[in-house]
Amino acid sequence: NAGVTQTPKFQVLKTGQSMTLQCAQDMNHNSMYWYRQDPGMGLRLIYYSASEGTTDKGEVPNGYNVSRLNKREFSLRLESAAPSQTSVYFCASSLDSNYGYTFGSGTRLTVV
Amino acid sequence: QKEVEQNSGPLSVPEGAIASLNCTYSDRGSQSFFWYRQYSGKSPELIMSIYSNGDKEDGRFTAQLNKASQYVSLLIRDSQPSDSATYLCAPWGSTNAGKSTFGDGTTLTVKP
């Protein structure tokens, strides 16, 4: 009964480095999401995938790319990390509009 | 104007009191409405959903929806210190929107 699993939980990057945040869900949900949360800014949508094979930009997509690898997995890639990308990143999934989101435990990323 | 507005916090209530959290939204096509609770340093957790005008009760929590006024609220009766958290309002967008939009949240503190 894992739900939504995110890895890693913590990461420190140097400016310019790249990394991929992994997310997997075992609930057979159709939609998956990546959010970032900064102090005082609430949750901001980076990218989402309404169904397997589709991805769409959210509110703050610049500097990020995503891959919906299959129905279970949705990864977020930072190609060249910047200090402005220091944040807590949450992955979420949803069956459909009647069920809301299930969130992963988050990744705390620091870019120095 | 933000798509989802929540009453500015922080909100402080004594133990045993009723806490009232309010939310207005701009998308008239929204049909599903969700409340999430987020403890400090943790990920958001879905606590209530409501789809029809009126009230929906679940234990000490009551969600209220008025689509004509584009207003949704969450009442917490007999507030407990364990209710101290940030509460996020998240209407699901119009049909085929594929996602929720989150308010910035209201931080509730319940004082013993």
Q: Which chain A residue has its CA at the smallest distance from B95's CA?
A: A97
Q: What is the pLDDT of residue A97?
A: 83
Interchain CB contact of B107 with A (< 8 Å): no
- B96 Cβ contact partners less than 8 Å away, ≥ 6 residues apart: none
Q: What is the pLDDT of residue B96?
A: 64
Assigned token pair, B10: 């922080």
If we measure between CA atoms, which residue out of B95, B88, B33, B85 comes closest to residue B64? B33
Q: What is the pLDDT of residue B16?
A: 98
Residue where the block lists tokens 């949803």: A94
Model confidence at A35: pLDDT above 90: yes
Q: Are strands A56-57 and A42-49 parallel, antiparallel or unpaired?
A: antiparallel
Question: Are the C-beta atoms of B17 and B81 separated by less than 8 Å?
Answer: no
Q: What is the pLDDT of residue A9?
A: 97
Min distance B55 CA to chain A CA atoms (Å):
17
Please tell me the distance from the alpha carbon of residue B1 to that of residue A72, in angstroms, as a whole number.
Answer: 36
Model confidence at A11: pLDDT above 90: yes
Model confidence at A44: pLDDT above 70: yes
Work out the pLDDT band at A85, boundaries 50, 70, 90: very high
C-alpha of B91 from chain center: 9
Q: Which chain A residue has its CA at the smallest distance from B9's CA?
A: A40
Q: What is the pLDDT of residue A26?
A: 96
The whole-number average pLDDT for the span A67-79 is: 96
Please tell me the distance from the alpha carbon of residue B91 to that of residue B72, in angstroms, as a whole number.
Answer: 9
Work out the pLDDT band at A1, boundaries 50, 70, 90: low
Q: Which of B43, B45, B92 lies closest to A97 in CB terms?
A: B92
- B13 Cβ contact partners less than 8 Å away, ≥ 6 residues apart: B19, B79, B108, B109, B110, B111
If we measure between CA atoms, which residue out of A94, A92, A75 comes closest to residue A18? A75
pLDDT < 50 positions in chain B? none
Q: What is the pLDDT of residue B98?
A: 84
The whole-number average pLDDT for the span A62-86 is: 97
